[in-house]
């Protein structure tokens, strides 16, 4: 059984899982969510990739009915259809979505890419669905940053830091592939904690490098240093000072990844 099938069968069928996700979706103070709110106000058609039970999309829509949510979990969609009947929900693997190309002027994914097995393929599918001059917004934990790690990460943090710094400077001169570090989920059907089902570690730095090869133009990005935990370790506080001063690559090392990209004609 592959990782995706195991997670779908053992984790993404739980009411508890999606109730926790719903609680997180109700946080509208995150800078990335504020960006989404602003962009969604004038969007004619909005697509949420990995919509879960639909709370975030419903908050963005307000009274409007121009939203579509896609998710692989039947449980999530069952909950969503009951709670938010105005939203169109579609069950699909994000790697192959049965929707017409260039049919959405705002496509977003919030806290989903860290749970994918092939993020590059999902990104290609997202771009296919964006209308000319439409926008893609991606939010995720910045687990792949040299100074960070996901809950399932195993290995040397020092080695990751050193390799990450080298890669950051390499990416200044090269167009990279979207090769985010893979990790083995530590979740099981009996116990779940936040992001124990992480499968890859997204990183803002390598993502920006990869976008150079795509039909997208970066409009804004952030690693959200403002969202750093107040009890962060001393070295993280030092990195934050450097990052908030705009010093490369520390400006890419914050806790979350937020990217807004516009589709090029």
Pairing status of strand 67-71 against strand 88-91:
parallel
- Dmax over CA atoms of the chain, in Å, equals 50
Architecture field, domain 3-263: 3-Layer(aba) Sandwich (3.40)
Whole-number pLDDT of residue 212 = 83
**Tens digits of residue pLDDT in 183-194:** 999 987 777 888
Phi, psi (deg, nearest 5) at residue 84: -135, 75
Whole-number pLDDT of residue 90 = 98
pLDDT band, very low/low/confident/very high, at 3 (cuts 50, 70, 90): confident
Phi, psi (deg, nearest 5) at residue 209: -65, -40
Model confidence at 42: pLDDT above 70: yes
DSSP the chain: --HHHHHHHHTTT-HHHHHHHHHHHT---SHHHHHHHHHHHT-SSEEEET-TTSHHHHHHHTT---EEEEES-HHHHHHHHHH-TTSEEEE--TTS--S-TT-EEEEEEES-GGG-S-HHHHHHHHHHHEEEEEEEEEEEE-TTSTT---TT--S-HHHHHHHHHHHHHHTTTS-----PEE-----BTTB--TTTT--EE--HHHHHHHHTTTTEEEEEEE--GGG--TT--HHHHHHHHHHHTT-TTGGG-SSEEEEEEEE--
**Tens digits of residue pLDDT in 208-244:** 999 888 989 999 999 999 999 999 999 999 999 999 9
Phi, psi (deg, nearest 5) at residue 252: -100, 0
Whole-number pLDDT of residue 1 = 65
Q: Where are the domains of the chain?
A: 3-263
Highest-scoring range by mean pLDDT, 16-25, 82-91, 204-213 = 82-91
Average pLDDT over residues 113-135: 96
Contact in structure between 239 and 229 (CB atoms under 8 Å):
no
pLDDT band, very low/low/confident/very high, at 145 (cuts 50, 70, 90): very high
CA R_g for the chain: 18
Top pLDDT among 68 and 211 is at: 68
The answer to whether the peptide bond before residue 255 is cis (omega within 30 degrees of 0) is no
Between CA 258 and CA 236 the distance in angstroms is: 19
Phi, psi (deg, nearest 5) at residue 165: -65, -45
Beta-carbon neighbour count of residue 212 at 10 Å?
12
Average pLDDT over residues 238-261: 98
Contact in structure between 206 and 181 (CB atoms under 8 Å):
no
- Specify the range with the lowest mean pLDDT, choosing from 52-61, 63-72, 169-178: 169-178
pLDDT band, very low/low/confident/very high, at 174 (cuts 50, 70, 90): confident
Average pLDDT over residues 60-66: 92
pTM recorded for the entire structure: 0.95
Whole-number pLDDT of residue 147 = 98
């Amino acid at each position: 059984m592959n990782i995706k099938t195991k997670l779908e069968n053992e984790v993404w069928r739980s009411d508890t899982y999606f109730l926790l996700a719903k609680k997180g979706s109700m946080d509208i103070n995150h800078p990335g969510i504020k960006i989404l709110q602003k962009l969604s106000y004038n969007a004619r058609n909005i697509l949420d990739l990995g919509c879960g039970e639909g709370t975030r999309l419903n908050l963005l829509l307000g009274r409007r009915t121009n939203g579509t949510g896609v998710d692989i979990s039947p449980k999530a969609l069952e909950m969503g259809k009951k709670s938010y009947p105005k939203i169109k929900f579609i069950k699909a693997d994000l790697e192959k979505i049965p929707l017409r190309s260039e049919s959405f002027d705002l496509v977003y994914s919030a806290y989903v890419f860290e749970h994918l097995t092939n993020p590059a393929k999902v990104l290609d599918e997202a771009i296919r669905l964006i209308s000319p001059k439409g926008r893609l917004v991606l939010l995720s934990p910045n687990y792949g940053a040299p100074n960070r790690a996901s809950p399932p990460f195993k290995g040397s943090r020092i080695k990751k830091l050193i390799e990450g710094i080298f890669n950051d400077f390499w990416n200044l001169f090269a167009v990279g592939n979207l090769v985010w570090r893979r990790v083995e989920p530590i979740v099981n059907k009996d116990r779940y904690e936040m992001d124990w089902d992480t499968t890859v570690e997204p990183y803002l730095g390598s993502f920006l490098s990869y976008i150079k090869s795509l039909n997208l133009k970066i409009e804004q990005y952030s690693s959200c240093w403002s969202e750093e935990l107040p009890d962060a370790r001393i070295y993280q506080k030092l990195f934050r000072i450097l990052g908030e001063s705009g010093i490369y690559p520390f400006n890419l090392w914050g806790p979350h990844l937020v990217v807004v990209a516009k589709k090029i004609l």
